[in-house]
Amino acid sequence: MIEAPLGLRTGAGCVYEGARMDGGFDLNAQLNARLGGTLTLVAEEEPGAECPATEHVDVRLFTEKIYAELVG
């Protein structure tokens, strides 16, 4: 289990923060990692950006090469 704070700034000038993101990783024949959660709007940097109050983020990373590099 991975828990970490996360911030996000969109191209429209919306700034979000998440206090409790969750995820994990699995290392076998490949590396599978995920970090996700719901972020809350903390600022609108652009006037009239019309930012939603929350934004959901789900980041996933898959790679097959890392396992060979770690054990090889």
Helix (H, G, I), strand (E, B) or coil at 70: helix
Q: What is the mean pLDDT of the chain?
A: 77
Nearest to 4 by CA among 27, 30, 24: 24
Percent above pLDDT 70 for the chain: 74
- The reported pLDDT for the residue numbered 51 is 92
Domain residue limits, the chain: 2-71
Tell me the HSE value of 46 on the side-chain side, using a 13 A CA sphere. 11
- The reported pLDDT for the residue numbered 66 is 54
The arithmetic mean of pLDDT across residues 4-25, rounded, is: 80
CB 21, CB 5: distance < 8 Å: yes
Please state the pTM of the whole predicted model. Answer: 0.59
18 vs 64 pLDDT, higher one: 18
**DSSP assignment string, 4-43:** EEEEEE-TTSEEEEEEEEEEEEEESSSEEEEEEEEEEEEE
Span 49-63, pLDDT tens digits: 899 999 888 878 777
